[in-house]
Structure 1
Amino acid sequence: MTLAASDPSDLSATPPPFPKPAVAAPAYPPAADPTEADYNRKTVEPQPNSGDFRSVVLPLLAQPEPVYYVLTARWEERVHREIRRTIIKKALTLTSSFQGQYLLLTLTTAAPTLRKPDPTPLEEIVLLLAALYQRLVLRITRTGQILELVNYEELLQSWAGIKQQLRARAGGGEPDTITAALLTAIEEQLRHPEQVLASLRYDYAYYFFFKNIYYQRFESNFRYGQAAEFPRFFAGTSLYFHERMTLALPTAPGRTSLSFRGELDEAQTDRAVVAWEVAAGLLPAQDPATRPLPDPAALAFAYAATYDVDAVTGWPLAIEARVNCCNPAGYAKEYDLTITRT
């Protein structure tokens, strides 16, 4: 069932009083952001439990001292016996402070490393473009919803330097077609701060790091559902899932553990377009007009994630996530993410 925000039984709509932190820190004001009701809305379904009843409400407290993470993202494409794998690893530093009823969050990312023996020129350019997002200052709600990119002007200044480097790669002349297309796309993206903020959805790490789990009551005898989208999982289409979250047994004292599983949203995901993308992966050199298409109904999809969260501050301690699509004809594409607090 879907609980309306005005339903008094919807515990996600009205968070309980904020717990007092163990150390002196500014308290959140009691007022909730007006967008929280829609953002927090979930379906709720009963599920059997082993008798070990648990109930949690995760806070999201300011972290004025730096918190460090290591993030590893892996994209893998398997075509019969051939494996094409790209692994990107980067270090992330997080600090946050209260600003009224919001958190002002600063994410600083070290230059990413690409673990691949023969990176393509395009991949090298993409690594260079990563410097655009090296420092992000975000305003977020107490439930983790990103509202605003605060340091937009700073990103524009960074882009000016990156453009010079890209043009230098072209020897000072006109950039090649791919580089020119990227320059045009980034220029368009940077026209408005809202567009820059929207572009973060294409890096799935932001989706998993800023999860909709805060100041909502979760109990072990229910599972909680919401929509999950993975934009442009393939070049021409996205994958959509019905996400179900359950409380898992804590892995250690002081932690809250959560488990997520996804079932493909058949209404949103275009299986025919995915089949076309799979055919392109299997037979990239063949004319698209004559390529045999796999049976869309035979495609299999999966999504799963696990979280270990600091029960006192609410910030992640460890995240593991995986999204994949496979075809019995010998093709599979997978995204794998690991985030670990160091």
Structure 2
Amino acid sequence: MVDYKKMGIFGVFGRNGSNWRLKALAIWNLIAFSYFCTLTSLTTYLVLFEMIPFIFGEFATSVMKHDIFTCFILLQVVGNVVLVITTDSSIHNLPPLWNKPEIRNISSRKRKTTDEQKKNLVKISNQSVTRRKDADKNMNSSSAGTPEMDAKSPLHNETEEINTTVCDSCNALAPKRSHHCLLCNECILKRDHHCFFMCTCIGFYNQKYFILWCFYMFIGSFYSLVIIAMYLKKYFNISFGMFTLLTLLPNTLYGWWFESSVIPYQLLIVGVFYACLTCGLAAAGFFYWQLYIVLQGQTTYEAWKGILTYSDSEMLCNFKDVFGPFWYISIFLPLPLPQKGLGVY
């Protein structure tokens, strides 16, 4: 029996209940991912093996510096993409205590949570608020970690501390800030959005890799724009002025289609130029937005709804909550470094 739940975006085509709209979105996911892979590979090849040697061929030191920088950007982009795709941000990535059947598998909303389940959920929730200063102080004291000893804890009230719901789609007991994704067919911890270019959801454990991918895509795209512009000027004698971005593409298409004065190779380079421009602007927008909501301690959904319940007053706390204690390493090396918390607060 094929388990379509473990097939990610491909499982949409085999799951019962997948309508044509969901399948169309899945196809669009695969197209977007293929576009990203093709554009990244093509641009890297052209910049690394065609343009840099042609522009800086007389200066071996300059060629080496540009090659190293290009390879560094490529490593960051590919590395963070791999980490985003392979890092599980679903509720299945929670520790064994949460994953016990009596805690997670609830058959319907009408079924009430038992006292033992509530006790376990409180224990889980208390482990997840260590990022806040008051929780850190409580943990350093001898009475920390048990709700019975800390009656003033915000998690002590039984009606508020759990704040979980039973997912209508998968019947799993979903913790705070988690949402179900129909494409991934999973409840995602601290779900932010579904990324079509990576065919997966961005949540608690992989958001930092997505943000770093946006940052390096932005840097790489605009670096490629500069290199391509220099190449067009030197190879095709195209000068760049104030309105070149508006006229270059239509003039190239007109010359290729009607006058045959533009060779296909030039059309390809101009096409890559505009593709890099589009990707660079999009990546810059995503990076700005993601960094903004991270510093605010929100997800995209919470920002739209104006929810500030989970935000810390200090931006550095919110930043470390996403990037972890070793954020200064993650910026330069795409590594699966540890992250505090469970994403269930």
TM-score (structure 2 length as normaliser): 0.24
Counting strand residues as a fraction of each chain, which structure ranks higher?
1
Highest CA radius of gyration, 1 or 2?
Answer: 2
Higher relative CO (Cα under 8 Å, sequence separation at least 6) belongs to 2
TM-score (structure 1 length as normaliser): 0.25
